Amino acid sequence: MSAGTAAARAETPAARPAPPADSAAGPVVELSGIEIGFPGVKALDGVGLRLMPGEVHALMGENGAGKSTLIKALTGVYAIDAGSIRVDGQEHRFSGPAESQAAGISTVYQEVNLCTNLTVAENMLLGREPRRFGRIHTRAMNRRAAEVLARLGLDVDPTSTLGSHPIAVQQLVAIARAVDVDAKVLVLDEPTSSLDTDEVRVLFDVVRSLRDQGVAVLFVSHFLDQVFELSDRMTVLRNGRFVAEHRTAEITQLELVQEMIGRELEVLERLDRQPADPAAPAAEPVLKVVGLGRSGELEATDLALHEGEVVGVAGLLGSGRTELARLLVGADVADRGEVQVRGRTRPWRSPRQAIDAGVAFSSEDRRAEGVVGDLTVADNMILALQATRGWLRPVPQRTKDELVRRYIEALDIRPADPNALMRNLSGGNQQKVLLARWLITEPRLLVLDEPTRGIDVGAKAQIQQLVAELAADGMAVVFISAELEEVLRLADRVVVMRDRRKVAEQVNDGLEVSDVLRTIAGAGESAVALEVVPDSEEAPRA
């Protein structure tokens, strides 16, 4: 929460963004002096932003800097306390998202908020369904949706229910919905947080073509590479204040990070993980699965997880990496194979059984499967611990305070208020709270599905560091991420998934991203895969 020296800078007249030199036309959106306060927090304090037609503009800042809040001010979700919003030079006071939509602003929010029980097509065209004789013309709707999905290179059945798809596909559907309207301004709040390289490619192509048609795109991402690749200009926020506006070409990543965090970035020492010694006499694995699978989701899979070892899981979207995680932790029930905990076969039919065996699972779908929005940060943190103790033995207040304080500090959660409501935290900070929930249970095996989603650069390194330390202390970790660099940095072994089965298991002795990519793509599989897992024929059939 330290504003530091840079806050002083932000108070200078420079707080008004200078108009970019090369703009012929005026800005399509101009925000100035925006203030928004919540009880106890000043989320935005005099922030300005200019969006030019035909540019991609990145909005940068740490977790909790106020990016999503600024976007919600622009889209009418929050009323502003002060400042002005101009669209096409005309002053607006939006009193709801519908009005901002009518003004030509189309938005994808950070947390996918579609209706999971409607179909993909219904979600995409909700509110503007094609009609015939006054009734919704379902066939036309599905056709229209299919066209847009095809344009995004998405192979999704428009008539399937949205909830049956993984979060990444849901995110893509939300994007498809937003790009399908003729908008002057497209706002994307962390659209790529759960996407793979390929989907990111496609999305970027779509964004570029929209930009070339003159659409202004406002874009939030914690992936600096993506920001530098895609954006033309950027605005940096810190602690709810405007810090600077830049042409992307005129700033380096290092300078940008410094502006975001307001100080020099300590040189992040490369994670020097001492890989768990593969030659060590294989002690009993913490968890071993034999032929574990579930029809339609994962073919029979063998995997052994050892103390002190980080196993990375790589694979494309839909390759079965999340399905594997869910079966490992009892979130879904396997219909074949068995689970052994320290050599003993165990029934594995609920998360609770897994938790009791010392297995913790942080889901990729933070909003639906993690956050308990109306409870406090403290209650969210101790939820899993409390659940294992049972309702009759509440975690003593002192222990609770102590644990919560420790993890708020260790993970730098902001606001550092144990009694803040979880739903009022920024996305990245919620993710940290969920990590804390599981660390508090002191698991023997920690299964992390996209644990750094939506987390800013500084905190990401911090979390990777933490995972390395936990493993050094003897915890077994399964680390799933769409970001291969991150997987390779941490993992001792890498499991590669394709088409809902494990296709390779490789020891990470200096693996390169390209090696793994090749295995994922299936090219030269025999050459790269060190231990190709026997096909599922051997696995016991249910």
Partner 1 sequence: MPDVRALLRSSLVWPVVALLALVVLNVVVNPGFLSVRLQDGRLYGSVIDILRNGAPVLLVALGMTLVIATRGIDLSVGAIAAISGAVACVQIAGSNQESAAGTAIVAMTTALAVAVLLGLWNGFLVSVLGIQPIIATLVLMTAGRGLAMLVTDGQITTVTNPTFKLVGAGFFLAVPVAVLVALVVFGATALLTRRTALGMLIEAVGINPEASRLAGVRSRTIIWTVYVFAAFCAGVAGLMIASNTSAADANNAGLWIELDAILAVVIGGTSLAGGRFSLAGTFVGALFIQTLATTIPSIGIPAETNYLFKAVAVIAVCLLQSPQVRSALAARRTTPSRAKAGAPA
Q: Which residues bind partner 1 (CB under 8 A)?
A: 36-38, 75-79, 81, 94-98, 107-109, 113-115, 123, 126-127, 174, 177-178, 331, 350-352, 355-356, 361, 363, 368-375, 379, 383-384, 386-395, 437
Q: Tell the smallest beta-carbon distance from residue 489 to partner 1 (Å).
A: 27
Among positions 17, 27, 46, 66, the unique one binding ligand ATP when judged by CB under 6 A: 66
Looking only at the bridges linking them, the beta strands covering 493-498 and 310-315 are parallel
Q: Tell the smallest beta-carbon distance from residue 236 to ligand ATP (Å).
A: 11
For ligand ATP, what does the binding mask look like between residues 69 and 98, x meaning CB under 6 A? Answer: x-----------------------------
**Exposed (0-12), middle (13-18) or buried (19+): which is 97, by Cβ within 10 Å?**
middle
Q: Which does 119 bind (CB under 5 to 8 A by kind): Mg ion, ligand ATP, partner 1, none?
A: none
Whole-angstrom distance, CA of residue 55 vs CA of residue 212 = 8
Q: How far apart are the first and last CA of the chain?
A: 55
Q: Tell the smallest beta-carbon distance from residue 9 to partner 1 (Å).
A: 28
Q: Toward Mg ion, which CB reaches closer, 110 or 119? A: 110
Q: Tell the smallest beta-carbon distance from residue 512 to partner 1 (Å).
A: 35
- Asked if 68 interacts with ligand ATP (CB under 6 A), we say yes
Among positions 27, 46, 48, 64, the unique one binding ligand ATP when judged by CB under 6 A: 64
Nearest-CB residue to Mg ion? 68
- Cβ atoms of residues 228 and 259 within 8 Å: no
Q: Tell the smallest beta-carbon distance from residue 375 to partner 1 (Å).
A: 6
Q: Toward Mg ion, which CB reaches closer, 299 or 365? A: 365
Whole-angstrom distance, CA of residue 208 vs CA of residue 54 = 9
- Asked if 426 interacts with ligand ATP (CB under 6 A), we say yes
Q: Which does 373 bind (CB under 5 to 8 A by kind): partner 1, ligand ATP, Mg ion, none?
A: partner 1
Q: Toward ligand ATP, which CB reaches closer, 486 or 492? A: 486
Q: Toward ligand ATP, which CB reaches closer, 383 or 455? A: 455
Whole-angstrom distance, CA of residue 380 vs CA of residue 403 = 12
4-23 residues in contact with ligand ATP (CB under 6 A) are none
Work out the number of other CB atoms within 10 angstroms of the CB of residue 540: 12
- Phi-psi group of 43: left, alpha or beta (phi > 0 → left; psi -120 to 50 → alpha; rest → beta): alpha
- Tokens linked to 4: 């530091």
Q: Tell the smallest beta-carbon distance from residue 71 to Mg ion (Å).
A: 8
- Asked if 428 interacts with ligand ATP (CB under 6 A), we say yes
440-499 residues in contact with ligand ATP (CB under 6 A) are 454, 456
Q: Tell the smallest beta-carbon distance from residue 115 to partner 1 (Å).
A: 6
The DSSP element (H or E) to which 305 belongs, if any, is strand 298-305
Closest listed residue to residue 292, CA positions, set 14, 464, 536, 42: 536
Q: Tell the smallest beta-carbon distance from residue 143 to partner 1 (Å).
A: 21
Q: Tell the smallest beta-carbon distance from residue 122 to partner 1 (Å).
A: 10
Q: Toward partner 1, which CB reaches closer, 368 or 517? A: 368
110-139 residues in contact with ligand ATP (CB under 6 A) are 110
Q: Toward ligand ATP, which CB reaches closer, 44 or 467? A: 44
Q: Which does 177 bind (CB under 5 to 8 A by kind): Mg ion, ligand ATP, partner 1, none?
A: partner 1
What DSSP assignment string belongs to 459-525? HHHHHHHHHHHHHHTT-EEEEE-S-HHHHHHH-SEEEEEETTEEEEEEE-SS--HHHHHHHHHTTTH
The DSSP element (H or E) to which 246 belongs, if any, is strand 241-247
- Size of site (CB under 6 A) for ligand ATP: 22
- Cβ atoms of residues 194 and 453 within 8 Å: yes
- Tokens linked to 26: 């005026």
Scan for tokens 């909005």, then name that residue: 59
- Asked if 192 interacts with ligand ATP (CB under 6 A), we say no
Among positions 34, 43, 359, 476, the unique one binding ligand ATP when judged by CB under 6 A: 43
User: Which residues in 122-135 are b (16+ Cβ under 10 Å) and which e?
Assistant: bbbbeeebeeeeee
- Cβ atoms of residues 395 and 389 within 8 Å: yes
- Cβ atoms of residues 186 and 217 within 8 Å: yes
Q: What residues line the site for ligand ATP (CB under 6 A)?
A: 38, 41, 43, 61, 63-69, 110, 414-415, 424-429, 454, 456
